Structure 1
């Protein structure tokens, strides 16, 4: 039996940031993840200046691809908006591995199947024991499934289904482009260049709304690719094979701690309600959970904003289109299949 103070289930940005902060606070921890790092990860890879600050990153010393956009071009209801606040892109396969190594925590490759409450904490698969447990395993996190699903049901109306691909590509337009609600899509699509010849393309839409209207994320992907070719952002003959995943936009998140178990990142459903940004909330929640464990204090998401944009019309329009319009549905709060 391996025993430690804290076990973190999931080695992505939420889990590795939690481990990094715990170790800085002098708390022993162990990370369990079913994947071997570095591992591919579907994600647009857009990070904000707030992420850089929370991670205390020295951009000049970061050893992997890191591209700064001085301009982000948003296309909303056919209107072009230019955002001039610097933003950045990374490759998740690189960033996640770097963060995990930087944390200094021990990492064991293990797929968590069973979690039991013990008098002194938690036991996992009769192999691991800990006093505190952190669920950082994304949408399908076993900590959420075992300990939180009944007490913190997710809002199915806020579930996003996405199709995405990252590929080597010599892009010509170095600006990040975001399209919202094109062709009736209750969501967004993106074109995110990466440094040194990589490109991330994706489409995400609100699952319940698409089901209600008979829409298909695959048909929206086909429309998106056609529009990219028409705009000459990708080559006509480029072969694409996207893969899918899902996550949740931020709701009330009523229960993020149960006894000495904590949820962080996508396991808690923290992607922002306007821009569907997930990396920033994941990292900050991981750090906050670590501080709560180290201090024996409160774990609160008060400093984790549910929005990426400041108050104003663009934020209100995006929130309405992505979340508020559907959140009033009678089926909004139901136990998801986890």
Structure 2
């Protein structure tokens, strides 16, 4: 059995950021991931300058595709306007592989099935043992499932479902477009150009609300496909190759650490409350968990941004129109259910 100071389950940006900081401090670290990198990762793939700064990446020195937008093209109820904000688009296929390969940890292609706590150690599938354990495996993280699901049940009303496709395409419109609340979608759809002939298009929204509307995310995807084709923004593509996934917006998270086990990123459900952006909070949580392991601080979410770095008025509108509206509806349903019983 291989023993490590720290075992990290999940090799995405959160896991690799943790690993890089831990190995730099001299801790023997292993990263376990069920996928062999580079791998497909469903994600719109935009990151903020703050994310790159936290990862010590200079945009001009990043060796793969990186496209920079100085504004977003926002569409709301037939109105279209520009919002100034610096954002970057990357391909997660390249970005995650780059981060993992430079982290300095031992990397294993391993599907974690069983985790036990014995004699102060964490035993993973009788192959690995560690003094500390970090769950960075996303929404279905086995560390969350084993040690945190009972402590932090998922807030169903915060679940986001998305459907997207990233594909080679010589786009003509270089702008990043976001369409909010079209066709009664409780969320938004996007068009994100990537550098050197790639494009990501997708839709995402609150799963509970979509279901209660009698809709499904594939229907909204088909409506986006029709829009993009009718506007000649995308033509001749295999839109049927799109795939779906889900994750959770930030809610009241009670426990992020149990003994020497931690959860970070999407395993903790930290996506922002406006745009549902997950990479920024994931990287921030990784750094905080690492600091806690090294005994420098307690692991707390107090300094992790709950919102994306966009204009305050747009943030307030999105929160009021989407997040708060959903929670008000959920509270009414809970009250009605309690009265009925």
Same fold (TM over 0.5): yes
**What residue number does 1:212 align with?**
212
Deviations 1:214-245 (A, max 9, x none): 1111111111111111222111x322120011
User: C-alpha distance in 2, partners of 1:296/1:131?
Assistant: 17
User: C-alpha distance in 1, partners of 2:215/2:105?
Assistant: 44
User: C-alpha distance in 2, partners of 1:198/1:310?
Assistant: 25
Question: Contact between 1:178 and 1:190, CA under 8 Å: does it hold in 2?
Answer: yes
Q: Secondary structure at the match of 1:103?
A: coil
In the TM superposition, what is the alpha-carbon distance from 1:296 to its structure 2 partner? Answer: 5.5
In the TM superposition, what is the alpha-carbon distance from 1:113 to its structure 2 partner? Answer: 0.7
Range with bigger deviation, 322-331 or 173-182? 322-331
In the TM superposition, what is the alpha-carbon distance from 1:255 to its structure 2 partner? Answer: 1.2
In the TM superposition, what is the alpha-carbon distance from 1:313 to its structure 2 partner? Answer: 2.6
**What residue number does 2:286 align with?**
286
RMSD over aligned Cα atoms = 1.4
In the TM superposition, what is the alpha-carbon distance from 1:78 to its structure 2 partner? Answer: 3.0
In the TM superposition, what is the alpha-carbon distance from 1:311 to its structure 2 partner? Answer: 6.8
Q: TM-score, normalised by structure 2?
A: 0.94
Q: Secondary structure at the match of 1:323?
A: helix
**What residue number does 2:166 align with?**
166
Question: Contact between 2:85 and 2:310, CA under 8 Å: does it hold in 1?
Answer: no
**What residue number does 2:62 align with?**
62
Question: Contact between 1:65 and 1:91, CA under 8 Å: does it hold in 2?
Answer: yes
Question: Contact between 1:168 and 1:199, CA under 8 Å: does it hold in 2?
Answer: yes
Matches for 1:35-184 after TM superposition, within 5 Å: 35-184=35-184
Question: Contact between 1:187 and 1:321, CA under 8 Å: does it hold in 2?
Answer: no
User: C-alpha distance in 2, partners of 1:139/1:94?
Assistant: 21
C-alpha spacing 1:122/1:296, structure 2 compared with 1 (3 Å): farther
Question: Contact between 1:157 and 1:323, CA under 8 Å: does it hold in 2?
Answer: no
User: C-alpha distance in 2, partners of 1:75/1:159?
Assistant: 23
User: C-alpha distance in 2, partners of 1:39/1:121?
Assistant: 30
Q: Secondary structure at the match of 1:8?
A: strand
**What residue number does 2:251 align with?**
251
In the TM superposition, what is the alpha-carbon distance from 1:141 to its structure 2 partner? Answer: 0.3
Q: Secondary structure at the match of 2:229?
A: helix
Range with bigger deviation, 292-301 or 91-100? 292-301
Question: Contact between 2:115 and 2:124, CA under 8 Å: does it hold in 1?
Answer: yes
**What residue number does 1:238 align with?**
237
How many pairs are equivalent?
331
User: C-alpha distance in 1, partners of 2:150/2:67?
Assistant: 41
User: C-alpha distance in 1, partners of 2:85/2:161?
Assistant: 28
Q: Which runs of 5+ in 1 are unaligned?
A: 333-338
Q: Secondary structure at the match of 2:297?
A: coil
**What residue number does 2:319 align with?**
319
**What residue number does 1:336 align with?**
none
Q: TM-score, normalised by structure 1?
A: 0.95
